[in-house]
Structure 1
């Protein structure tokens, strides 16, 4: 009887265990995809996702919704973005059936020169303070998007963010953590504590945070347009503050700011066209990696296999050597972009990979010539927006001017001080940029709008998402939930060189046998805390005329539609 009882217990226990596994899809998937007919929004903050949906339901299009969500995120996630930062976007325009790329990144001050850094003993540009600031491009980016594609008025689009800024919103656990972490470094700068540390501390989980200064700023922008930010009293406040803090900006730096519409760049990966924006961003690193990986039968190796992971890591090292050497402001250099993303170049670089050994360093090619937000929206007309926006280094430079309610970015830190380098500091120049939106088309039609935020992780994340979907057959949510890897220690556009092969950080979910195999190949392995990027994606299903949405399970993300 005891034996029968034991067998019955084991049988029932096994049913319970299996019942806890997902009955559809892979076991690591946190939830199903969201599916909707009329519109979709995927952001890293549920309240911002709802703002985007409200805009869509009130007659706005995907572009209006993206701007509205971005404005809300600047308030709700000041740890990653805001109007003191830059913006990049890829837009699928349903009317023309074309992709459009927007580079809304800012430039260095006219009056600051490389000689200043040399004469004052700087080996690199500081990570915080006035010397790290470049002109914020976000607001101009909004108005460029709106003037080309928008439907609703900017007053209607910015109204939800203004209301939340004035009336408050509850801070989430994750953002509260990042907020406190940033404040330890930034609270010493004038203006920061008054706005972002009410009562002398950062808001805790669940506390209501209000930013009336930002509400006033957004209201001015909504009513008076982009010039109030770049040519009016706001610009003068930013200039005065920065000069008081040792900076070199003048009003001319803001008055002369412009965004640029650019042609997205693509490569075809096993029948799918993957699109990125050209430098000064790092998007083409993802294309270079895909061109290298296409020379190998990734699908047969299997997700999580040491063979695939080794090839991925080595492809990343190779692409990042070119990134360190060539990626820079195209207004100052003739960049070999077309050659870098060519199939022949990818095949040539792939030959440098030893399948049994991790490379400690690689040469850059010789061609012929922590924090960010990402969101994506789609509407019933078929428009889709892939948008990324950031302050860099979390909350940015710490420069918090004139009760305007935001922190200025520190993108200028990413210039090199090495004379002759393509990314060397020069006046009125755009620095190398990490934030990149992505898009996939299939046979000339829109398929997936996606992004993976997070510094150097971004092109690595893009490639892992593409491989997860194309090579390993994952659905849109599984592709983002799958455990990720991140290689660090590559050569940098600021001048640092890779000498020891770098470090491979691995999320939990990979087998010990895989990790041991990678170590035997010479990879240095770490179980780091992450965050391994932040993913959002929308996929258009032409057959059923529906949108699929997916969101990052490692953050507060929400995909929602109607």
Structure 2
């Protein structure tokens, strides 16, 4: 029998690593609120889940302030450096941005700025308290988790290519085994500098100089001015309605609007009447995904550089038109782009009713696999997704934010938060959100049951070139055969496959006055409430 998290009445934390969940709970129990806990969880994840996230990456936060009755979002994604251009890479004989190494670190990290802004907007505890748990785990070590050990093995060759990185993550030249301690002293020192100096310590302090000196020595593009000039952005989440609920996502440069498009298309098909484990269900999900992704790949980039017709894309008339293209008998065509995968999603609800739905990333596993000396910081390679084709909507330009996969979600009912949810995995993020949202809104599953449902991923995610439909092995052979008859190229994966990402979620049951939380059984996380 699978473990079930008991309902709670006061607060709930869910994250992809048990240590980070405990950190969030401890902050709440010390008098902090959801904003404090979100920052502490985010910082802790950067220590205990370094293959998925860290100080050198980006973060998106969706926040509900119960006292004000306001929902807002913070876009903590970094912009490309002032020297970052198609010419910069062409002069080095490159036709595309490298996926790894110093040249893949194109955008300034937005994580620390996002922490500071979230805490400044609504935190209660002193800033220094929020980073202390992360510092302790970096300095004293923690046991290597199953997920981290698997990714250390997968990425060993990339880690070895950076001696600074290798010294930390392959001590003595060996891959650490599950359960062995990982100590990150340089990262602990960096976090102490942030603890003492706040946001400015990262963007215009001695730490900044160490970062950019390392990048310059290794031929990278980022410079001091790119850190000094960085600032994130407070934004209004975008929304659509679905069967009496309102679903909120982050606006572009996030791909969040694709989930809104998909859910509104699905509403026309009466999903509740379609058996959840049927080939018909999976087929419908994939066909809606294809149509939304075509518009995503056509338009999504930094809206400061290119107009994105959101009003039209989310209009009822346009989504009716798209839904009308879906054949329930045959699979439609597709043309998708490759995505990165490393991400960590977490959620917090506190006793006052404040909510934080947030997600963070280095883009690929271990990001750029590049660490400037004496920093302990793995830099993200998010900017490697820019195109060097001048005619491409997501073409590299200085000071530009790239197409971003990160998309935390929140569902409201009667103007109040009902569910917080999200997941890792590039193309998989909106698709897994479909699985969770239909699970709880159409099929009346608990959040834990919805996260545990057999999942699918369509498209070239997790570094794979195939655009096949990948489906977990718990789906019956008969349904797989039916999908193939409809024209889908189906790859059957393990029953609980890591390719499906790691989702977390919290549901607020106001009728019963309780909270339900869950972490993905495919990962190392947990949910904790009281």
Report the TM-score when normalising by structure 1: 0.90
Matches of 1:458 and 1:146 in 2, distance apart?
A: 26
Matches of 2:335 and 2:131 in 1, distance apart?
A: 47
Matches of 2:189 and 2:7 in 1, distance apart?
A: 37
Matches of 1:516 and 1:344 in 2, distance apart?
A: 34
Matches of 1:352 and 1:302 in 2, distance apart?
A: 22
| Contact persistence 2:336–2:459 (CA under 8 A) | no
Match of 2:162 in 1: 189
SS of 2:474's partner is coil
Shift of 1:154: 1.3
| Contact persistence 2:97–2:388 (CA under 8 A) | yes
| Contact persistence 1:391–1:411 (CA under 8 A) | yes
Correspondence 1:256 to 2:233: no
Matches of 1:327 and 1:254 in 2, distance apart?
A: 24
The within-5 A match list for 1:171-182 is 171-182=144-155
The CA deviation string for residues 189-248 of structure 1, in whole angstroms up to 9 with x for no partner, is: 241112222222232111111111111111110111111110011111111111222212
Correspondence 1:527 to 2:492: yes
Correspondence 1:374 to 2:345: yes
Matches of 1:250 and 1:206 in 2, distance apart?
A: 38
Matches of 2:334 and 2:29 in 1, distance apart?
A: 52
| Contact persistence 1:318–1:362 (CA under 8 A) | no
Matches of 1:305 and 1:129 in 2, distance apart?
A: 44
| Contact persistence 1:39–1:379 (CA under 8 A) | yes
Match of 2:55 in 1: 83
Matches of 1:254 and 1:299 in 2, distance apart?
A: 49
Task: Please identify the structure whose Cα radius of gyration is greater.
Answer: 1
| Contact persistence 1:75–1:82 (CA under 8 A) | yes
Q: Over the residues paired in the alignment, what is the CA RMSD in angstroms? A: 1.9
Match of 2:521 in 1: 553
| Contact persistence 1:291–1:342 (CA under 8 A) | no
| Contact persistence 1:90–1:385 (CA under 8 A) | yes
The within-5 A match list for 1:370-449 is 370-449=341-420
Correspondence 1:270 to 2:222: no
Of the three residues 275, 285, 302, the one matched with 1:329 is 302
Matches of 2:90 and 2:321 in 1, distance apart?
A: 38
The CA deviation string for residues 458-483 of structure 1, in whole angstroms up to 9 with x for no partner, is: 01111111111112221110000000
Shift of 1:420: 2.5
Shift of 1:531: 2.2
Match of 1:515 in 2: 480
Match of 2:187 in 1: 214
Unaligned runs of 5+ in 1: 1-21, 23-29, 365-369, 491-495
Of the three residues 451, 464, 473, the one matched with 2:422 is 451
The CA deviation string for residues 530-556 of structure 1, in whole angstroms up to 9 with x for no partner, is: 420111111112123221111100001
Using a 3 Å threshold, how does the CA distance of structure 1 residues 363 and 339 change in structure 2: closer, same or farther?
farther
SS of 1:275's partner is strand
Match of 1:468 in 2: 439
Of the three residues 202, 207, 212, the one matched with 2:175 is 202
Shift of 1:294: 1.2
Shift of 1:179: 2.1
Report the TM-score when normalising by structure 2: 0.95
Match of 1:240 in 2: 213
Q: Compare 116-125 and 219-228 and name the one that shifted more.
A: 116-125
The within-5 A match list for 1:54-133 is 54-133=26-105
Shift of 1:172: 1.6
| Contact persistence 1:107–1:135 (CA under 8 A) | yes
Unaligned runs of 5+ in 2: none
Correspondence 1:51 to 2:23: yes
Shift of 1:363: 11
| Contact persistence 2:252–2:301 (CA under 8 A) | yes
Matches of 2:75 and 2:500 in 1, distance apart?
A: 25
| Contact persistence 1:293–1:315 (CA under 8 A) | yes
Correspondence 1:540 to 2:508: yes
Q: How many residues align?
A: 522
| Contact persistence 1:267–1:287 (CA under 8 A) | yes
Matches of 1:223 and 1:183 in 2, distance apart?
A: 34
Match of 1:32 in 2: 4
| Contact persistence 1:412–1:431 (CA under 8 A) | yes
Shift of 1:131: 2.2
SS of 2:210's partner is helix
SS of 2:155's partner is helix
Match of 1:162 in 2: 135
Matches of 1:234 and 1:376 in 2, distance apart?
A: 30
Shift of 1:121: 4.4
